[in-house]
Structure 1
């Protein structure tokens, strides 16, 4: 009970012992600076351990393609279909994914570094055990995103909708949520450091309230979460 009380207070104050949150209470995420070179149009499929450098995938249908372990460097994937694409342990470096769509895309154990994801429409994406560093996810909607045991560092979620995202056991460092809708999020066992939730438009945490230590929320959000914190503590609230 003492731990849950301490976590609730830390979530509201940014973990500062003086109880003052403020802008200095959380370190800002470092954003990627992606500058793509002139790209070569690519119309082929994917291969396991394939090497794709400086290519433009425009409107490509990659449904069910097997690209496990592939490397994408300085690439642009625009309006591509990724339904059930096998991209486990793939690497995306200095790349931009725009309006990609798909259900059941497998990115388990993948590595994304200096990547922008814009207006994606994805469902059931498997990113468990993945490593994300300096990534911006802007706009779009992602349902049932599996980030269990993933490592997220310097990540910005900007204006996107996440429905039932699973961060169970994940490690989040310098992660910002800006104008996002977070519905039924699972933070069970997650480890948070400098995670900024103050600008979230809708915050709904289904599980893992006791993992909020290391996050910063607003006073209004604390009031909204008060019933859930009370339930976590086993406190009954009555008029």
Structure 2
């Protein structure tokens, strides 16, 4: 799968603090553009409908922030922390995430397009009713995350963990789980979500009981 990389500035302007930029951006209804942010923190802040474009963020912490309706386009995130953030109805386009934390983040109703996500922790995150298109996931942990009623197209995952992940009412036809861990997913009864998905023989042995088949162990 070919993912469009973020269109980043050749010489971004270094900024010392994120909050003044964010407050000015929201107040003036203008996006934050072409900056480099390192090791900034904005924990528990309310920044709804924030717009960030063509920026580089490294080692930044936004845990517990309200970023509902925020928009991020052409942004590279490295070692950033979005744990327990509210990102409902947010929009991400041509973004790259490497080594980021999303523990318990709420992305319900969000739109993610042309996204690369690597070595990231998304345990307990909620993606319910999101729209996902052109996502490349590598070595990410989605243990007990929720993908209920998701609409997706062109999603590739390898080395990821889907343990007790909620896929209720999300059709998985065309999804390839063979290069990932898939165990005890939450599905309908019978598990029609799996129709058309690709799984390994080992995964099939664990999932067959979902179809009412008893396995003599």
Quick check: TM above 0.5? yes
- 1:203 is the counterpart of 2:186: no
The superposition leaves residues 48-80 of structure 1 with CA deviations (integer Å, 9 ceiling, x where unpaired) of: 355111111211101122221111111111111
CA–CA separation in structure 2 for the residues paired with 1:214 and 1:54 = 43
Residue 137 of structure 2 aligns to a residue whose secondary structure is: strand
Shift of 1:102: 3.9
More divergent stretch after superposition (145-154 vs 99-108): 99-108
1:96 aligns with: 76
Shift of 1:183: 1.4
CA–CA separation in structure 2 for the residues paired with 1:119 and 1:44 = 20
1:95–1:44 distance in 2 versus 1, CA, 3 Å: closer
- 1:131 is the counterpart of 2:111: yes
Q: How many residues align?
A: 206
Does the 8 Å contact 2:8/2:75 carry over to 1? yes
* Alignment RMSD (CA, Å): 1.8
* Large movers: runs of 4+ above 4 Å: none
Shift of 1:84: 1.0
Q: 1:148 aligns with which of 128, 132, 154?
A: 128
CA–CA separation in structure 1 for the residues paired with 2:194 and 2:2 = 21
CA–CA separation in structure 2 for the residues paired with 1:86 and 1:166 = 19
2:12 aligns with: 39
- 1:82 is the counterpart of 2:55: no
- 1:167 is the counterpart of 2:147: yes
2:209 aligns with: 227
Structure 1: which 5+ runs fail to align?
Answer: 1-28
1:97–1:211 distance in 2 versus 1, CA, 3 Å: same
Shift of 1:162: 1.5
Q: Which has the higher contact order (CA 8 A, sep 6+)?
A: 1
Does the 8 Å contact 1:142/1:161 carry over to 2? yes
Does the 8 Å contact 2:18/2:41 carry over to 1? no
1:50–1:63 distance in 2 versus 1, CA, 3 Å: farther
> Which TM-score applies when normalising by structure 2?
0.87
CA–CA separation in structure 2 for the residues paired with 1:207 and 1:41 = 44
Q: 1:115 aligns with which of 74, 89, 95?
A: 95
Larger relative strand fraction: 1
The superposition leaves residues 31-54 of structure 1 with CA deviations (integer Å, 9 ceiling, x where unpaired) of: 132241121122241233551111
CA–CA separation in structure 2 for the residues paired with 1:205 and 1:82 = 31
CA–CA separation in structure 1 for the residues paired with 2:4 and 2:206 = 33
CA–CA separation in structure 2 for the residues paired with 1:127 and 1:159 = 20
CA–CA separation in structure 1 for the residues paired with 2:196 and 2:109 = 21
CA–CA separation in structure 1 for the residues paired with 2:38 and 2:137 = 24
